[in-house]
Structure 1
Amino acid sequence: MRATMPERSALPDKRQVAASFSRAAETYDAVADLQRAVGSQLLSLLPGEPVPRRWVDLGSGTGYFTRALASRYPQAQGLAVDIAEGMLRHARELGGAEHFIGGDAEHLPLREGACDLLFSSLALQWCADLPAVLGEARRVLRPNGMLAFSSLCIGTLGELRRSWEAVDGFVHVNRFRAFEDYQRYCAESDLDVLELCTEDRVLHFPDLRSLTHELKALGAHNLNPGRPDGLTGRERVRALVAAYERFRQPQGLPATYRVVYAVLRKS
């Protein structure tokens, strides 16, 4: 069994995550096709019953799924929670929730038994302490309440990671926890696991610049400790392009996202 501390130390500082996504608030939606597809798949996994009286969009971002949840549950009260104030400012203008709240998934600003559904799509991969997130979910959910989340695990952006490994020894690609860690933490959470699976989604880009531009526009570029400081030298960029070209497919340069889907219920 792996120790928890090395996993935590390998993940990004959430203050940097919040700042990065705040800066990306105006550009995020234009390049968020994958995020919308993954969140829609997560929505489809939600059971029809019971209908929540209050739901929370956790890591709500620009509010795309806040508005989707409001449409799905028109009689329920909705709350949007995000650590990035820039995202919340953007989402407030478009509505969908009764309250937009700055908050951290590891320390939810909600009282015990506050909601019936916690929905979180592609946000929890930035949380170093997943057991704390699951504990908070158990605390704020009412009996029979649901936690539905999608996240990312090892295997995500593997082509980019392996290409950088051929160039230098720095950390250039965001790290993610193993799927086995999700399985273990969910099993130990005292929540009933209704669904826990992975799916590979592969995007294709005409060139490396298009991929890195999208990552920056999403706010999801390299935020890890151990990343190199300063500008990347031209020789290293050329070497990276050459290394990545080895993965080229007829559709373009592939970028694999290994997505975790989970639906858990409080007994």
Structure 2
Amino acid sequence: MPEAVIDKQQVASSFGRAAATYDQAAAFQRQVGHNLLERLPAAWQPEYVVDLGCGTGYFTRALARRYAVPVAGLDLAEGMLRFAREQGETGHGWIAADAEALPLRDESQDLIFSSLALQWCPDLGKALAEARRALRPGGRLALTTLVEGSLSELRAAWQAVDGFVHVNRFMPEAHLRDCLASAGFAGLSCDIETHVLHYPQLSGLTHELKALGAHNINPGRPGGLTGRARLRALTEAYESYRQPQGLPATYHVAQVQLYKEG
């Protein structure tokens, strides 16, 4: 993904501000992360584990419980780390970290777990290279990331209203697979899950995205407040997607496992 698309500081600030509201809005994020956990080998016992893009620390603690080892929570957003720290320690604590420049020694980790975080990296290839460097021989990077087509209904509804960028851009699946294949790992698997969430009203989706810190952070977004007329037009455009269950929001999630040569 071109570097100009994502501003790391904007990402950190947006998610940091959402720390106190994130967990209440994160049911989908937890489902995706639990699906990733379930893909890890049941009998495997990694000794050195980090949760990259740990957010509030939900999966950092889940990993510590599962493997009964200290787990470090790494995140770019200081606000998320402060919130996670207030919930208690996991052994190795909470560390401000950029996925593209990990503060980890070479060949020091058995498992790097990262759920719905690496889509915010301007250079995914650099993040994958850093993870590979930090993994011990035989180690594994387990990650989930959103791919193009996620929130397609919201994007299309906004396109009917104006020409601004209102919805975060995600990497095309083919580009993601190319990045994974060229990252130098000994083996990989990549499966795409499709999740369709439903909301009684559009405000349920937009409020949830704001509570998660995942609302629009792309260049080309409109400045200032969104006018009432545009919101009415957006609501009318989104209504064309209504299903019996409600207004759909579709997410395409890549479930990825990368294995370092032993």
Q: Which of the five TM-score ranges fits, normalised by the shorter chain?
A: over 0.9
Aligned equivalents of 2:42, 2:246: Cα separation in 1: 39
Distance 1:180 1:193 in 2: 17
CA distance in 2, matches of 1:24, 1:252: 26
Give the partner amino acid of 2:138: N
Give the distance between the partners of 2:178 and 2:62, measured in 1 at CA: 30
Q: 1:168 aligns with which of 162, 168, 182?
A: 162
Structure 1 residue 190, shift from structure 2 partner: 0.9
Within the candidate set 76, 79, 86, 1:86 is matched to: 79
Q: Which moved more, 1:234-243 or 1:141-150?
A: 234-243
Indicate which of 116, 123, 126 corresponds to 2:120. 126
Cα deviations by residue, 1:131-167 (Å, 9 ceiling, x for unpaired)? 1011001100000000000000101000000000011
SS at match of 1:27: helix
State the 1:93 CA deviation.
Answer: 2.0
Sequence identity (%): 57
Determine if the alignment matches structure 1 residue 153 to structure 2 residue 147.
yes
CA contact (8 A) 1:66 1:97 kept: no
The two structures, once aligned, show a CA RMSD in angstroms of 1.0
Q: CA deviation at 1:116?
A: 0.5
The CA distance in 1 between the partners of 2:163 and 2:91, in whole Å, is: 45
> Structure 1 stretches of 5 or more lacking a match?
none
Structure 1: 4+ residue segments shifted above 3 A: none
Tell me whether 1:236 sits opposite 2:230 in the alignment. Answer: yes
In structure 2, C-alpha distance between the alignment counterparts of 1:187 and 1:33, rounded to whole Å: 31
1:182 is matched with 176
How does 1:203-218 map onto structure 2 within 5 Å?
A: 203-218=197-212
2:25 is aligned, of 20, 28, 31, to: 31
* Deviation (angstroms), 1:182: 1.3
State the alpha-carbon separation in 1 of the partners of residues 19 and 40 from structure 2: 27
Residue 215 of structure 2 is matched in structure 1 by 221
Matched, 1:65 2:72: no
Q: Which moved more, 1:46-55 or 1:106-115?
A: 46-55
Q: 1:262 aligns with which of 243, 256, 260?
A: 256
- Which moves more between the two structures, 87-96 or 169-178? 87-96
Mean CA deviation greater in 225-234 or 45-54 = 45-54
In 1, Cα distance between equivalents of 2:153 and 2:108: 42
Give the length in aligned residue pairs: 260
Distance across 1 between alignment mates of 2:21 and 2:145:
21
In the alignment, the residues of structure 1 paired with residue 175 and residue 187 of structure 2 have an alpha-carbon distance, to the nearest angstrom, of 14
Query: Residue 49 of structure 1: CA displacement?
Result: 4.6
Deviation at 1:175, TM superposition (A): 0.4
In structure 2, what residue type is equivalent to 1:165? Q
2:249 is paired with a residue whose SS is strand
Shift of residue 97 of structure 1? 3.8
Q: CA deviation at 1:77?
A: 2.8
CA contact (8 A) 2:106 2:135 kept: yes
Amino acid at match of 2:83: H
**Contact kept? 1:80, 1:97, Cα under 8 Å:** no
